[in-house]
Amino acid sequence: MTKNEQKFALITGANGGIGQALCKTFTEEGYEVIATDVHEQPTESLIFSRYVSIDLNKLVESESYATDRTNEIKSLLPNRELHALINNAAIQILGGVDSLTRADWNQTLNVNLQAPFFLVQTLKNELEACRGSIVNISSIHAKLTKRNFVAYATSKSALSGMTKAMSVDLGAKVKVNGVAPAAIETEMLISGFSENREGLAKLNDYHPTGTIGEPREVATTALFLANSNTRFLNGEILEINGGIGNCLHDPD
């Protein structure tokens, strides 16, 4: 592959369960993956080309930090072209109306919503230079949620809304789409059920597919959106939820 044919993808939240699958899938497709996460170092099993440590909360709060970190990313793009930006990092602070603090809200909206915006703003020229793609990883919580998820659910609704609005703003040169997964079998999710295997079985059964999703399935959906030559596929949020979003849950 010559330098001009090299494709670059920037993936945030790379050390996480879905982030690792995204990095692997995009690498296998031939992308040079610039992986980024808040940690100083990439996680051991991560497959990537370059790693840049970025705290997305700080990126929103400090313009000088943002310039410094994004200049490092730009320096890794030999032709000043970024083919895919996958906004995958997120935090999930649980709490209800009585307990959420201002700090909880700021952190949630900074990482889950504003950081994706400012990354796009900063890297817009590089994305436009090669008619690149943005894929925002939203969530089923953008539409259907449960108690104590008010901050997370609000941030994901806003991320889905921003995806649509940005597709209007950037549409001629950059495609902007989203993926909205329901429960995905990450290590973290599984460890949450370590004392309750029955609960995990019930969660799987609850989905019309009989299983929850796999990180790889989110990654291949994001790759499809980023890689597809279908430029008309713009401003869409693909729901990947095993059909649970179509279920009516009546009391027994």
| Closest distance to ligand NAD from the beta carbon of 183 (Å) | 5
Contact assessment for residue 68 and residue 113, using Cβ atoms and an 8 Å cutoff: no
Residue 162 binds ligand NAD, judged by CB under 6 A: no
x/- binding map, residues 124-143, to ligand NAD, per CB under 6 A? -------------x-x----
The pair of structure tokens assigned to 226 is 């980023």
| CA distance linking residue 130 with residue 150, whole number of Å | 38
Q: CA-CA distance, 214 to 26, in Å (whole number)?
A: 16
91 versus 129: smaller Cβ distance to ligand NAD? 91
DSSP annotation of 95 reads B
What's the CA gap between 89 and 100, in Å, rounded?
21
DSSP state of 12: E
Instruction: Tell me, residue by residue from 187 to 216, as one string, x for binding to ligand NAD by CB under 6 A and - for no binding.
Output: -xx---------------------------
Which residue number, 123 or 184, has a Cβ lying nearer to ligand NAD? 184
* 73 lies in the binding site for ligand NAD (CB under 6 A): no
Specify the pairing of strand 31-37 against strand 7-12: parallel
**In the 8-state DSSP scheme, what is residue 111?**
I
For residue 230, the minimal CB distance to ligand NAD (Å) is: 23
User: Structure tokens of 189?
Assistant: 């999710």
Determine how many CB atoms are found less than 10 A away from the CB of residue 235.
17
Nearer to ligand NAD, 139 or 227 (CB): 139
The HSE-up count of residue 139 (CA atoms within 13 Å, CB side) is 25
For ligand NAD, what does the binding mask look like between residues 88 and 107, x meaning CB under 6 A? xxxx----------------
Minimum CB distance to ligand NAD smaller for 89 or for 130: 89
**At closest approach, how far in Å is the CB of 238 from ligand NAD?**
12
Q: Does 23 bind ligand NAD (CB under 6 A)?
A: no
DSSP structure class, residue 247: -
Contact positions vs ligand NAD (CB under 6 A): 13, 15-19, 37-38, 54-57, 88-91, 111, 137, 139, 181, 183-184, 186, 188-189
